[in-house]
Chain A
Amino acid sequence: MTATPVLALRGVFKRFGAVQALTDVDLEIHAGEVVALVGDNGAGKSTLVKTIAGVHPIDEGVIEWEGRKVTVDRPQDAQHLGIATVYQDLALADNIDVVGNLFLGREIRRWGVLNEVEMERRSRELLDSLSIRIPSVRIPIASLSGGQRQVVAIARSMLGEPKLVILDEPTAALGVEQTAQVLDLVERLRSRGLAVLLISHNMADVKAVADRVAVLRLGGNNGVFDVRTTSQEEIIAAITGATDNAVTRRASRTAEVQK
């Protein structure tokens, strides 16, 4: 692990009107590391991702990229730095084939005309290098399964040669086999030396691929854990608030009743 993190957030605040969405949040992600970002609904995961991706500029605090302070006010800023974000809704055009979707918005042209051959060749190279198996690069996205769409969306983010990939709930709507495909891909991204920020609700996924888990609770940090040495229960306790979860509430309620 390199000493300087690829991305570091220090004391980040974000407020929407009356809602304090993020309060003094710190986060560090290193190259070749998968950091899982977990938290209950409304804990601020999506807001945090959007501040990194440049959708919502931060109000206070510092974003450091490879050790130097940067401002990320627009999605383009994040892209220029080398941050690629794959949102939950994937944003693929169903009617266009895989090649067309991979290169959407950055088509390769020759004399002003689409160079389909070169795009197809590079698409195959890219998918091969990520060991992604799909029936053909020339079938429309509509004919792919959910897992295949997810890996295409992730592959698409790789075309910009990013250093940090943010995956927003990549396995949320997937079956067992498809989830496995996506998790394999996450591991391949890590072995390529990329930093990965994985937002997930699924503890099994987090335990399977993440190196560290950053927990958000009510817009603030609630601990960063090493996955290998931390039990699932401890992480869940941090997500829900150790003394304030269903079990402790029930326990205290039954205790009250018995009194």
Chain B
Amino acid sequence: MSIDKTSAPRHRAVDAPEAAEGAVAAVDPRLLVQEQGFGGYVTEFKRKIKAGELGSIPVIVGLIVIAVIFTSLNSSFLGAGNITDILVQMSGTGLIATGIVFVLLLGEIDLSVGSVSGLSSAIFAVLAITHGMNEVLALILALVSGAVAGAIHGFFFARIGVPAFAVTLAGLLFWSGLMLQVLGPSGTINIPNDNVVYKLENYFFSDVAAAYILALVAVVVYFWASFSGNRKRQRAGVPFRPVADTIMRTVLVAVAAFGVAVIFNQYKGLPLAVVIFVGLLVITDFVLRRTTYGRKIFALGGSVEASRRAGINVTWIRISVFMISGGFASLGGLFLASQIAAANQGAGAGNLLMNSIAAAVIGGTSLFGGRGRTWNALLGVLVIISIQVGLGIQGVAAPIVSMVTGAVLLATVVIDAITRKTQRSAGRA
């Protein structure tokens, strides 16, 4: 939600009173209003840095640093093949992290996502491959199993009042046990390459047009949404962004979208995994910021009492958020199974849980509830997978990768704590 990018008054705080006739009446003269033009962005940016409103800046700076370091060590790091691999590999963990963002917005935690993701891949493999069930039906049942697991956690948390930490810790143990039970003695079920789940991470739209058309659609939709939104604001007499601002943002989006499209087309084409992941991020971001349901989640993360008094069904929102978290965990689990073309006993174990939570937090989602966006999951997981892949190219062993990821997470949380302090002193906490 952009706050200060208003265009109504064209002056600085000092000479505000004289502009009363054209300006919107309710603007307080003490309010800092952004200047027009490029200079306005620079002063606005400086003010935000001073006030500790860093937003995604630390993550983006971090990504640039990672890219520079690994490219200097090995020039193929930024090659089309490697970038495509990173973007495809991140989608599994990224989807799990997307679900985690929802739970973190409530100020809660879900420790079961790793086990739930493993359980879903096992359920899918047993149903579709061992028992020969229809693939799509098996996929839907696998996703439902995740949502049901989430609903159970949500029920114990919201209705019985058990701390989410404890409920999902129990879930972590229980679901991983159930996964082993479902897989049976063989332990590993291979997924053949004509299977729908195999295609999740291994299908590429090889036609060059696919990536470009999708990029074009994204840019046009983005431009139209912000242009018409601002025109509506202008007509209603509330502060709006000037058209130049909209155009500048659209150009940035276009550069990013077509840049990625070019990279994809230099390699195997547009990966299905990225389309699904980014598509779900667009949908979840819309749900969180533009619907009453999303508003209720934010309200609950800000103040449970305020939400209750506003007539929000606290229990249902909590249960539904854990269902979303479980559902995304299952989907992520299927993506990860697709990556190794098998459902095995190791699924959902190891660093997966910690990486998903770390991705959400590194991306900028607050651990204390009420602050964050699902796009944070994308940025965070990009950092984690880039480090893994980059260190992998250098032949660095797994223990070191884990240590580096830990250090990055600590750095993020430290930055978060420091900016919070600055924000508090700048009155924006």
Contact = CB atoms under 8 A, between A and B. Distances in A.
Contacts, number: 106
Given A105-B310, A120-B238, A124-B238, A97 B3 contact: yes
A91 B370 CA distance: 15
Q: Is the interface of A mostly helix, strand, loop or mixed?
A: loop
Interface stretch (A36-44, A109-117, A192-200, A235-243): A109-117
Contacts of B6: 136
Contacts of B299: 93, 96, 100, 104
Interface in B68-125: none
Contacts of A116: 290
Given A95-B298, A104-B306, A142 B292 contact: no
B426 to A, nearest CB: 9
Interface in B299-329: 299, 301-303, 305-307, 309-312
A135 interface: yes
Contact of B295 (A90, A114, A133, A142): A114
Interface string B10-29: 00000000000000111110
A117 B238 contact: yes
B283 to A, nearest CB: 13
A54 B27 CA distance: 37
B103 to A, nearest CB: 16
B31 A93 contact: no
B237 interface: yes
A95 B371 contact: yes
Interface string A83-105: 00001011111111100110011
A121 interface: yes
Given A100-B295, A118-B236, A143-B428, A91 B28 contact: no
Nearest to A103: B295
A134 B291 contact: no
Contacts of A26: none
Interface size class of A (residues with CB under 8 A): 35 or more
Contacts of A142: 428-429
Given A105-B312, A121-B236, A124-B26, A91 B303 contact: yes
Nearest to B309: A91
A140 interface: yes
A234 to B, nearest CB: 37
Contacts of B28: 133-136
Contacts of A139: 3, 428
A66 to B, nearest CB: 25
B104 to A, nearest CB: 13
A184 B291 CA distance: 35
A120 B303 contact: no
A134 B30 CA distance: 9
Given A105-B311, A112-B291, A95 B26 contact: no
Contacts of A183: none
B159 interface: no
Interface in B215-259: 229, 232-233, 236-239
B1 interface: yes
B161 interface: no
Interface residues of B, number: 41
A138 interface: yes
Interface in A200-257: none
B371 A91 contact: no
A100 B291 CA distance: 12
A184 to B, nearest CB: 16
A117 B236 contact: yes
A136 B27 CA distance: 6
Contacts of B395: none
A124 B24 CA distance: 9
B237 A121 contact: yes
A158 interface: no
Contacts of B302: 93-96
A95 B301 contact: yes
A138 B1 contact: yes
Contact of B31 (A90, A94, A112, A136): A136
A136 B307 CA distance: 23
A57 B321 CA distance: 34
Contacts of A117: 229, 232-233, 236, 238
A118 B303 CA distance: 25
Contacts of A91: 303, 305-306, 309-310
B208 to A, nearest CB: 35
A134 B370 CA distance: 22
Contact of B303 (A93, A97, A133): A93
B207 interface: no
Contacts of B39: none
Interface-central residue, A87, A105, A112, A137, by most chain B CB under 10 Å: A105
Interface in B353-380: 369-371
B371 A97 contact: no
B298 A114 contact: no
Nearest to A112: B291
A62 interface: no
A101 B310 CA distance: 9
20 contacts: A91-B310, A92-B306, A93-B301, A93-B306, A95-B369, A95-B371, A100-B299, A113-B290, A114-B291, A117-B233, A117-B236, A117-B238, A127-B26, A128-B26, A134-B28, A135-B31, A136-B27, A136-B28, A142-B428, A143-B429
Q: Closest 7 interchain pairs by CB? A: A105-B310, A93-B302, A95-B370, A95-B302, A91-B306, A135-B31, A104-B310
Given A101-B306, A121-B237, A136-B6, 14 more contacts: A93-B298, A95-B301, A95-B369, A97-B1, A97-B3, A104-B299, A105-B311, A113-B291, A114-B291, A124-B26, A136-B3, A136-B27, A138-B239, A143-B429
